[in-house]
Chain A
């Protein structure tokens, strides 16, 4: 029982990341009908917003290290710490939450620029062309990031307060199940974002128009609504969702420039499993596949089926595509 619960918890953080990326992918596919292979790059850029903010906050000066008296020693101290002491240190400690605030406008701009500059010229082209041009864009974006930040993973730390683990087992009356605080926060944050997106689509007039446009774009256009502009904003929203997923993921996985590609492949699998164009499907499939993946990584299962943990996600995708081509929750 403990083992199963533990695996479910372990699967949740990957699953939430998949779900968030897949949510954005599905939004873009459902509204604009565009298959966006650069979506993983948006996730990666979100992660590097956190790296950038951390680098900015820790711009340092060389100061004399007074604790060493035998010789002249210098150490790097961030300006923030020099100016504001403890307050500065706290700000640096909270680099990731601050980056979340920074990431929203940055990713929105990136998304809008991408849609206006490139994607909108590809509405009428076939899926193959869309895949290829966004694949090219993904390469360009990741090379630019590599040019600025180098090829190595850069560690980003969660705030001290939540760097520890929480004894989650005691809630259920079980012994010895601990879970890092940050992953719990990631889960809560993701659920909030997912809930926010759904609320936005279902409880606002704007969202209602977007949903109508997903259903029948031409009809909405004929009613005198500029659906194109709204879809552009939806693309920006999808970019923000992917970016935030990346920003918040940095304490869990040190970002490097090709992390987007790795997540992209799996998120596409997630989207297809959930059903192309189905938002609840994408979210459900994200959680499902994340949990399945960690479940099949258990030694007990690996002993019977060696290597199953490496392929389970793809295997599920293949089976679903062959048996239920529209995905779990897709409509015909």
Chain B
């Protein structure tokens, strides 16, 4: 899978520019597909970041972690605590979240990376479940258990107090006076997404990235050439943990609430899904996968029988009824079913995800694909 394509610097810059334009103009084009509202766009960006980071570990090294939701949760909690204790400004919150999740990832990664394959997966799963169970039970003073951690008006916020910043109404995250809700919140996430993409691009093209790919293709051979894979693996694990922490922080910024359910292992499963759906080991794939899943989640789950009836209005009555009966289990509450089925189909017939699909379609038309994501 990992073909080495000579890619010029100019093309990378073009790719980055194209990516930035698409992301920044999202509020314009997303309206045409019915996704033009800030809540959903924020989710695209946040989960895009999460998936990019996850891909740096799973896509490059092939180590399947089932515990990345823990870092997401840690990032969220750190951000909310920064809002509670320091200031509503997002800069310290983001820095704190990334730092703490990095520390977390360092410890978990150091232990988990002693094993490979299924054992590695189970170890990360075990650590994530421990974090989740503890966040739900004994760590309630820190996590506020089942209720979730909220930002309150009368929290100390020492930095804000020292600078004399007053909070009117319910406290909202801000960036030097700009309140980060709605579209301003989205643009903040979008800028970080572009930054995250840029870093990921650099890693893909760097000697460090090459070594990660080497670990995936043949770890033993890499050891024989005189490289110790462990430090590279650990770095990749920590970096992807930092991405997850950043995503968790953004989640708490656009909606100042952190709950333990973000850390459950099924949440880790979701990011695996996104990465696979988009295309493992590709640059853009994870973002596309994340956006697709979040889009389906929001759009599909809002469909009900009436909407379907309208959609099939043009058909004869009996056929319309038939179509509604066939499709209705897959939308609304049943969108998980669609997700599971889609996921199986992707793994079975298109292991390279949507990016491979695009490439095949492009190959059909006999030209080279514009967006070559492969390193």
Interface residues, chain A, with chain B CB atoms under 8 Å away: 35, 118, 121, 127-129, 131-133, 135-140, 143-144, 147, 261, 265, 268-269, 272, 276, 306-307, 310-311, 314-315, 317-318, 321-322, 325
Give the number of chain B interface residues (Cβ < 8 Å). 39
Tell whether B348 is near chain A: CB-to-CB under 8 Å: yes
A322: B residues at CB distance < 8 A: 111, 114-115
Contacts of B265 in A (CB 8 A): 265
Whether A132 contacts B133 in the complex (CB less than 8 A), given A269-B122, A321-B123, comes out as no
By a CB distance below 8 angstroms, the chain B residues around A137 are 340, 344
Does B334 sit at the interface, judged by CB under 8 A? yes
User: Is B336 close to A, CB under 8 A?
Assistant: yes
Determine whether the beta carbon of B138 is less than 8 Å from that of A306: yes
Nearest CB on B from A8, distance (A): 23
Chain B residues with CB under 8 Å of A269's CB are 122, 125-126
Pick from A121, A147, A272, A317: contact of B329, CB below 8 A: A147
Asked if B14 is at the interface (CB within 8 A of a chain A CB), the reply is no
Instruction: Contact check, B340 vs A139: say whether CB atoms are below 8 A apart.
Output: yes
The docked-state distance in angstroms from the alpha carbon of A29 to that of B127 is 23
Bound-state CA distance A203–B63 (Å) is 40
Residues A325 and B340 in contact, CB atoms below 8 Å apart: no
Please, which residues of chain B bring their CB within 8 A of the CB of A147?
Answer: 329, 334, 337
What 8 pairs across the A-B complex have the smallest Cβ distances?
A: A139-B340, A307-B138, A310-B133, A136-B343, A143-B337, A136-B344, A140-B340, A314-B126
CB-CB under 8 A from B92, the residues of chain A are: none
A315: B residues at CB distance < 8 A: 130
Q: Which residues of B contact A143 (CB under 8 A)?
A: 334, 336-337, 340
Task: Tell me how far the C-beta of A137 lies from the nearest C-beta in chain B, rounded to whole angstroms.
Answer: 6
Contacting residues, chain A, for B139 (C-beta < 8 A): 307
0 or 1 for each of B107-142: is its CB under 8 Å from A? (1 = yes) = 000010011011101110111011001101111000
**Chain B 202-224 interface mask (CB, 8 Å, partner A; 1/0):** 00000000000000000000000
Residues B130 and A311 in contact, CB atoms below 8 Å apart: yes
Select B272's contact among A132, A268, A311, A318, beta carbons within 8 Å.
A132
With an 8 A cutoff between CB atoms, is B96 at the interface? no
Cβ-defined partner of A310 (8 Å) among B134, B329, B348: B134
Set of chain A residues within 8 Å of B341, measured between Cβ atoms = 136, 140
Inter-chain residue pair count (beta carbon < 8 A): 102
> What distance in Å separates the Cβ of A115 from its nearest Cβ neighbour in chain B?
15
Given contacts A136-B340, A140-B340, 20 further A-B contacts (CB under 8 A): A118-B344, A127-B64, A127-B117, A127-B118, A127-B121, A128-B64, A132-B272, A133-B347, A135-B269, A136-B343, A140-B344, A143-B340, A306-B138, A310-B136, A311-B130, A314-B126, A314-B127, A315-B130, A317-B126, A318-B127
Residues on A with beta carbons closer than 8 Å to the beta carbon of B123: 317-318, 321
Asked if B276 and A261 make an inter-chain contact with CB atoms under 8 angstroms apart, the answer reads no
Report the minimum CB–CB distance from B118 to chain A (whole Å).
Answer: 5
| Complex CA distance for A281 and B276, rounded to whole angstroms | 33
Q: Mark B54-82, 1 if CB is under 8 A from A, else 0.
A: 00000000101000000000000000000
Asked, given contacts A133-B348, A314-B130, A315-B130, whether A139 binds B343 with beta carbons under 8 Å apart, the answer is yes
Q: How far is the CA of A137 from the CA of B266 in the complex (A)?
A: 14
Q: Does B86 contact A (CB under 8 A)?
A: no
In angstroms, how far is the closest chain B Cβ from the Cβ of A266?
9
Measured between beta carbons, the chain B residues less than 8 angstroms from A306 are 138
A321-B122 CB under 8 A given contacts A139-B336, A140-B337: yes
In the assembled complex, 13 residue pairs joining A and B whose CB atoms fall closer than 8 Å, in A order, are A127-B64, A128-B64, A129-B351, A135-B269, A136-B347, A139-B339, A139-B343, A147-B337, A311-B129, A315-B130, A318-B126, A321-B119, A321-B122
Determine whether the beta carbon of B111 is less than 8 Å from that of A310.
no
List chain A residues, Cβ under 8 A from B134.
Answer: 307, 310-311
CB pair B137 A307 closer than 8 Å: yes
CA gap between A291 and B121 in the complex, in Å: 25
Bound Cα distance A133, B339 (Å): 12
Q: A325 to chain B: which residues have CB within 8 Å?
A: 115, 119
Which one of A138, A310, A317 has the greatest number of beta carbons of chain B within 10 Å?
A: A310
**Complex CA distance for A18 and B217, rounded to whole angstroms:** 36
Q: Across the interface, do A321 and B137 meet the contact criterion of CB distance under 8 Å?
A: no
Q: Which residue of B lies closest to A311 (CB)?
A: B130
Q: Which residue of the partner chain, among A128, A133, A268, contacts B122 with CB atoms under 8 Å?
A: A268
Q: Which residue of B lies closest to A135 (CB)?
A: B269
Measured CB to CB, the nearest residue on chain A to B121 is A131
A176 → chain B closest CB, angstroms: 29
**Contact B115 A321, beta carbon cutoff 8 Å:** yes
Q: How far is the CA of A137 from the CA of B339 in the complex (A)?
A: 10
A314 contacts across to B, CB distance below 8 A: 126-127, 129-130, 133
